[in-house]
Homo-oligomer: A and B are copies of this chain.
């Protein structure tokens, strides 16, 4: 989770919201007269909008691409590394690269550079959201919402995001009771999470060895 030090505004999106935005995205693509032959969904965030766009645009060919551009996995010259390369010839094909949102824009830019090596006729990019802070080169050809920067919790990533946010709360506050974690999520991330939902997140967080329960109480501490 990048850009998540200190207070960070978070926002949950529903499945219906994602579906509606995928639909609006497809309408913009159609209006521009662009009909892709293949959709390339960036793993893992782009998979759901990519799948929806296949339906709305009538595209049968759907492939996945995973870019890596953080930390040790990047090549020394700063180029993106592709974790699971697609080895296919796209000549004569129009490709659409899809991600959930474009934050720094790095993923999109690097995915596009990679896809261009597969020699397609044309490559376009699309995301549901962009931010006020997204640099010009990171703005996709098609997008639906431009919003002030916020960490979007998409419905397919709520567990992972909440586990990360809980870990930040515990990192700051030390060992905490369920109710204090709940308050921490509200105060630091503007997220309201129900008690039972949080209990399930804590159980999964324990299973992943991210937190440790203290005694028999509903109190946890980060595993260092």
Interface residues of A (CB under 8 A from B): 15-16, 19, 30, 41, 43-44, 47-48, 50-52, 54-56, 58, 60-64, 66, 83-88, 155-160, 163, 204, 207-208
Contact = CB atoms under 8 A, between A and B. Distances in A.
Contacts of A52: 156
Contact of A160 (B19, B43, B50, B55): B55
A58 B160 contact: yes
10 contacts: A15-B15, A30-B207, A44-B51, A47-B50, A47-B51, A47-B62, A52-B156, A54-B156, A55-B160, A63-B64
Contact of A64 (B64, B87, B158, B207): B64
Contacts of A15: 15-16, 19, 155
Contacts of A60: 44
Report the copy number of this chain in the oligomer: 2
A158 B207 CA distance: 36
Contact of A58 (B41, B63, B64, B208): B208
Contacts of A86: 84
Contacts of A64: 41, 43, 62-64
A54 B45 CA distance: 11
A10 B54 CA distance: 21
A63 B84 contact: yes
A62 to B, nearest CB: 5
A55 B204 CA distance: 11
Given A55-B159, A63-B64, 11 more contacts: A15-B155, A41-B47, A44-B51, A44-B62, A47-B48, A47-B50, A47-B51, A51-B156, A55-B157, A58-B160, A58-B163
Query: Which of A51, A58, A83, A207 neighbours the largest number of chain B CB atoms within 10 Å of its CB?
Result: A51
A204 B59 CA distance: 13
B51 A63 contact: no
Contact of A19 (B63, B85, B155, B163): B155
A19 B159 CA distance: 12
A109 to B, nearest CB: 21
Nearest to A157: B55
A60 B56 CA distance: 28
